[in-house]
Chain A
Amino acid sequence: MRKPERPRKTERQTGAVHSQTRLGDKLDAWFAHHSTSAIDSLLRLLHTPGSSLITWLVVAIALTLPAALLVGLMNLQQLAGNWEDTNQISAFLDTKLSDAEAQTLRNKWQKLEGVAQVDYLAPADALTEFRDYSGLGRLIDNLDHNPLPGVLLVQPRTGSSLDALYQQLLAEPGVADVRIDMLWVQRLEQLMSLAERLVLTLACLLALGLILIVGNTLRLAIENRREEILVAKLVGATDAYVRRPFLYAGLWYGLGGGILASLFLALGLGLLSQPVTQLNLLYASQFTLKGLGLIGSLQLILAGGFLGLAGAWLAVARHLRLIRPH
């Protein structure tokens, strides 16, 4: 079985220089270990598809929930944004005011700060419009005088205070009443910023949960490979070397969950798009349902990867220290 072999002195001599490996080789080996760790940990996850899939699903759910709420909120904001563009202040003038006086007022207001545009709707025009659209044509023809006042339609500059403008216009001479019909848009906006905070809080909680889930999963993985870690440490593995495969496993859990989450979101939006299109047809609205998009999905996946890595780091820092020797 064994070949008779003479002691070879030369072998020992080459052994003495083994620690002087070239830096380039070390760097190559470092990259090689990174890629083998990455592939090896992925293969390990795929080796137990059942339990890995469950972890991926849990991660995906923890990511999908806040992402879906965020997408919903984004769409609402887009909708509210459309309404805000049509935000308008109607200033009803005194019926005694003549068209010429109204035009003077219009020119004056045009120069006001916070005003983008002012249009004058004369009483006669208002009546024509009313007759055409209200369906009360005959009745209106029978009126002996025009009951409608002139209206100045003020388009506020975006970002200016509606309330201040409202007060200012109300104080103007010749103005009977001022109406901001879109007050509820502001309220909606307030509500949405509140909702945004709630979603952010929820996202933070779920992110924390995700970190703990990945951490716990990897704690078990570390326990299962305890013997291997011990032996590796005894033959001179650094902590970084021992950590690496687990950190990659965390990254894979996170990235996989992120990919699943973006698929879930795309699927959900796909299911919703049909009814939304029908609703749009009914209301002649130009609203389109917006998803995360390519960049958003990538961000979601990256966020998953980052959180998975954080969870792995947590588990590794806590549990590798407990495995003796140091």
Chain B
Amino acid sequence: MSGRAVAVVGGVTPRWGVRSATWSELAQEVGAALFRAVPELRSEDVDSLFVGAAEPERFAFQSHVAPLVAEQMGLRPHRIVQRTELACASGQSAIRSAYAAIAAGLSDVAVAVGVEKMNLPSMAEANTAMACVMDRPWDGPAGATAPPFFAMVAQRHMLEYGTTEEQLAAVSEKNHRFANTNPSAQFYEKSFPRDKLLRLPLIAPPLRLGDCASMTDGAAAVVLAGEEHVRRFTDTPAWVRGSGQYSDFHNLANAGSLTDWVGLKQAVRQALGQAKISIGDVDVAEVHDCFTISEIIEYESLGLCPAGEGGRFAADGRGDVGGDLLVNPRGGLLGCGHPLGATGIGQAVEVYQQFAGRVPPARQSPDPEWALVHNLSGSANVHSVMVYQGGGAA
């Protein structure tokens, strides 16, 4: 890594779910929660603001959201103020942009915040918004949205490798169980044992309701700081040590193999290479389980198991507590819900809290040093990865 060292020095995830609150109210709520969670933070410290929001135009009929969020949060950014949009990875994009700005010396203390309000009076309208993520004039008229696309991914994985519905349910059960330890999660109070998951209705066969992340209202925020400012805020920073990204295709016709996620392999190689570690060094991972099949292919693409063995990896509990690597202890997108722009920020909050030893024991990684965060976006055509190191000096 070149440039100034940068760390996440605090953050917060308020309640996610079907919220009785507007888009702007979610922004205001996360602002109030952030200043409570990071009491050392003063409004005037924040020189820059990066807002991850995928589709405020569609979900809230609102553009130009960066200054809106600044006002809602009580911030007056005076160096950089912008929105980042990368569909499901909009939140991580905000963090990456803040990191890049601080590393380059253009910012000292920045807030990265994600906001999405997805539950609308008409679910069909919300589903229409989700469909805009695809190549709208070409794939849209056929009704392309995420569930049928990832269903085809699951179908091919089952055909090519013998992956089973029970293995998909193993991912969902684990992440929902972790969500039961996370009061911010959409499904904090709901339990999903495997036999129940296998009886839920099909949404896009072979995917059932429990295989799909929900439509979620929610926000999350983190503070990032340059190395000389870090100790003002925390003794347990999460240092950004690597980041990688890869954009492979957009129209579904150009996806190539549905089960070999080349872009993720590229992004993770970049990120781990910058951090000078290997996947075996990672203690906790937050990966993008928008669907159960996603987490299974991510096990393979991250190099945790050979191609085709992700299903068995899940069923054998190798991504669970006491397994090879603790994956999605926060509850994942399946358990926490997936407010698009907030998801990547919520994952970073979990990493910060894991390093600080501040999560419930049922999901705490024992003394973690390295964490990896992954988001895919759209039809898994873009992959974004960040690597964090806990403790230690800059």
Mutual binders A and B: no
Residues of chain A whose beta carbon lies under 8 Å from any beta carbon of chain B? none
